[in-house]
A and B are shown apart, each in its own frame.
Chain A
Amino acid sequence: MAEMAIRDALRDAIRERMLVDERVIVMGEDIGAYGGSYGVTRGLLEEFGPERIRDTPISELGFVGTGIGAAVGGLRPVVEIMTINFSFLAMDQIVNNASKIHYMFGGQVSVPLIIRMASGAGLSTGAQHSHSVEGWFAHIPGLKVVCPSNAADAKGLLRTAFEDGNPIIFIENTALYSLRGEVPDGDYHVPFGQARVAREGTDVTLIGYSGSVYQALGCADQLAEEDIQAEVIDLRTLRPLDTDAVVKSVKKTNHAVVIEHAWRFGGFGAEVAAQIQEHTFDDLDAPVARVAGVEVPMPYSFELEKAALPSESQVVEAVRAMF
């Protein structure tokens, strides 16, 4: 076991793979000389050189598409999009090409590509830099969407991503990069589609991923004082989704709340709620609750931003309303 920050766990997984596989290259804006906007790639340029650690122009469509082509051509690229907000410029390449090449051409070639990006709000970065639209990617068949919440999962999931062989949207949280945690030694992997029970409980299931897991855990502490034992599930991957783990928990607790930082309307939480409803209708003692962002572009002003994001007290209220 070693304790490290999420950014270091991610770097470890990349570095390790680069040492054993020459085909792995990293591309993105300011990942080399600058050291990466969030410090994930720091030191890699010095170790692996500019052929394998490629600083790109600010041209997301261009370098993401190049990553797709490179993957088809035999490399194992890791493409860093500085933040999820800029992935919109590359959406055409991701949706029209990366997710479809394998299927559309009858399975003849595949796209073993990892696209990493930082997501999330809460840092006063304003309307154009505060998106949490993981759910958009999860909507697309052909993509896999990974959202680690801690250092051990970050490393274990990234290792799995390298071995998957499909386009992986690997989403990191801007507010969690420095979060430290124990990371197991040795060659361990975290498989896709396997949620984690972050806390066991008997009365209500709180479901989150990435940053919202910590809100769920905070609420569980509060609820425990009121003698409500909450079980917290960290989804870890949105696609594939571990429906079984969610269903198993809700069958036990008979209550469920889905927490996400994205907007509520048409959001990923709605998919989770629908799955619960389809599989546990007879076990539910209350409608599935969703706690999510308010339907506004993110305001800059500090109190407004706080009000726009889901809060622990909203989750607690939602749970109380069920009993």
Chain B
Amino acid sequence: MTTNRHTEVDMAISDRSVAAVPKEELSALLHKMMLIRRFEQKAAEMYARGRIKGFLHLYTGQEATGVGIISRLRDDDYLYSHYREHGHALARGLEPRAVMAELFGKSTGASRGFGGSMHIFDKSRRFMGGYAIVSSHLPLACGTALACKQLGTDSVTAAIFGDGAVNEGSFHESLNLAAIWHLPVLFVCENNFYGMGTRVNRVTATPEIYKRAEVYGIRSERVDGMDVIAVRERADHALQAVRRGEGPAFIETITYRYRGHSMADPEFYREKSEVEHWRGLDPIDRFTDALLRANVSQGEIDEIQNRVESEIDDAARFAEESPFPPVESLTDHVYAPSPLDVRPPGGGR
């Protein structure tokens, strides 16, 4: 059993926890992680070829966190994310085609080409968007949760953000609001140790981020974010409590991004050896090791990898061949149709 010197999180995936998960689900988890890994490689390639512009933030290394959490959300739950959200979108079941086409700025993209890499949205999957202003989606998540609660559903709203977000006022204001109103929100902080080039402990008074939620009376814990099974298990636990009406919950996942902050990052601020150390704890490698120990065959794993290859090739081809939105659509959607239909659903009185 290895222990990670950076986090003191136990770094082996336990066989017992793997055995507790149904087999189809295990392959689904692996498939999503591999899909995200390959998607991001392709995106980097397409960025280098000028197909994708602006800012591109890759999720490589953090797959277990998003996949583990999102695998436990129901279809009627809501999910908010920040600008590093391709992986979250794919984990939530958005088509790789729609995500890649959005990165290309095509009209077939999830946000019809109007959003871009940082603003992927899919109403049908209740994927409520990527937001590029750090921490600004946390109040929105509180609001959607308030709506669910007030409208009498038991849907939960999850919000994923980084370690850099926890020093913004909106983070603290959201936690406080969610706590006093017992809102059904699952806050998920992906602690990858850096906000751009700034290491978390240099700018965060309590680098054990999960403790910040505790002071608001929110149930909170830290989990090994490189272990998809552990994340899945803790997410399940937290979501059940939130759904029972016990108020918000908070999970801090310990994870790492392999690539620079964005494609423009010269990475002056960290040693190559640190990146190598974390690559040694790769969430996909660790999970495949555990699966092999659990008698999943190499053949089955290869099959998933092959499926991923063709899905990503298909997504890139689809994005390439799709049309750009016509220039005449520039002013569409600035305002919603007005006036609003004010009849309550079901007719009302």
Contact = CB atoms under 8 A, between A and B. Distances in A.
A62 to B, nearest CB: 7
B132 A301 contact: no
Interface of A: 29-30, 33-35, 37, 55-62, 85-86, 88-89, 123-129, 294-297, 299-304, 307-308
A297 B334 contact: yes
A34 B198 contact: yes
B281 to A, nearest CB: 24
B171 to A, nearest CB: 9
A60 B114 CA distance: 27
A295 B334 contact: yes
Q: Most chain-B CB neighbours within 10 Å: which of A57, A89, A300, A302?
A: A300
Q: Is the interface of A mostly helix, strand, loop or mixed?
A: loop
Contacts of A86: 133-134
B337 interface: no
Contacts of B266: 35
Contacts of B132: 85, 126, 128-129
Given A33-B269, A123-B53, A296 B331 contact: yes
Given A30-B196, A33-B197, A61-B169, A126 B330 contact: no
Nearest to A127: B119
Given A34-B269, A58-B165, A301 B105 contact: yes
A300 B167 contact: no
A33 B268 contact: yes
A163 B132 CA distance: 35
Contacts of B55: 125-126, 129
Interface in B111-143: 111, 113-119, 131-135
Given A301-B106, A302-B324, A304-B325, A58 B54 contact: no
Nearest to A34: B197
Interface string B21-58: 00000000000000000000000000000000111000
Contacts of A62: 167, 169
B54 A304 contact: no
B167 A124 contact: no
B214 interface: no
Contacts of B16: none
14 contacts: A30-B198, A35-B268, A57-B167, A59-B167, A59-B168, A61-B169, A123-B53, A124-B53, A296-B330, A299-B330, A300-B111, A300-B117, A304-B105, A307-B330
B327 interface: yes
A304 B164 CA distance: 32
Contacts of A58: 134-135, 164-165, 167-168, 195, 203
Nearest to B162: A58
A12 to B, nearest CB: 21
A301 B114 contact: yes
A89 B119 CA distance: 19
A61 to B, nearest CB: 6
Contacts of B165: 58
A307 B326 CA distance: 11
Interface in B260-278: 266, 268-269
Contact of A57 (B106, B111, B204, B329): B204
Contact of B116 (A33, A37, A300): A300
A127 B196 contact: no
The 7 A-B pairs at the shortest CB distance, nearest first, are namely A300-B116, A34-B197, A57-B167, A301-B105, A124-B54, A124-B53, A301-B113
Given A30-B196, A125-B54, A126-B118, A304 B330 contact: yes
A188 B131 CA distance: 43
A130 B325 CA distance: 19
A263 to B, nearest CB: 11
Contacts of B105: 124, 300-302, 304
B202 interface: yes
A136 B329 CA distance: 28
A178 B129 CA distance: 33
Nearest to A33: B269
A33 B169 contact: no
A294 B329 CA distance: 12
A88 B133 CA distance: 10
A58 B169 CA distance: 10
A96 B151 CA distance: 38
Given A56-B203, A127-B115, A85 B133 contact: yes
Contacts of B204: 57
A296 B325 CA distance: 15
A85 B55 CA distance: 15
A291 B132 CA distance: 28
Contacts of A294: 330-331
Given A58-B134, A58-B168, A304-B327, A126 B116 contact: yes
Nearest to A82: B196
B245 to A, nearest CB: 33
Contacts of B115: 126-127, 300
Contacts of A127: 114-115, 119
A5 B298 CA distance: 55
Given A29-B196, A30-B197, A89 B133 contact: yes
A301 B197 contact: no
Contact of A33 (B54, B119, B134, B198): B198
A148 B111 CA distance: 35
Contact of A300 (B54, B169, B195, B334): B54
B140 to A, nearest CB: 13
B168 A128 contact: no
Nearest to A86: B133
A35 to B, nearest CB: 6
B312 to A, nearest CB: 21
Contacts of A128: 118-119, 131-133
A61 B113 CA distance: 32
Contacts of A85: 132-133
A67 B327 CA distance: 43
A179 to B, nearest CB: 18
Nearest to B325: A301
Q: Most chain-B CB neighbours within 10 Å: which of A34, A301, A303?
A: A301
Nearest to A294: B330
Nearest to B266: A35
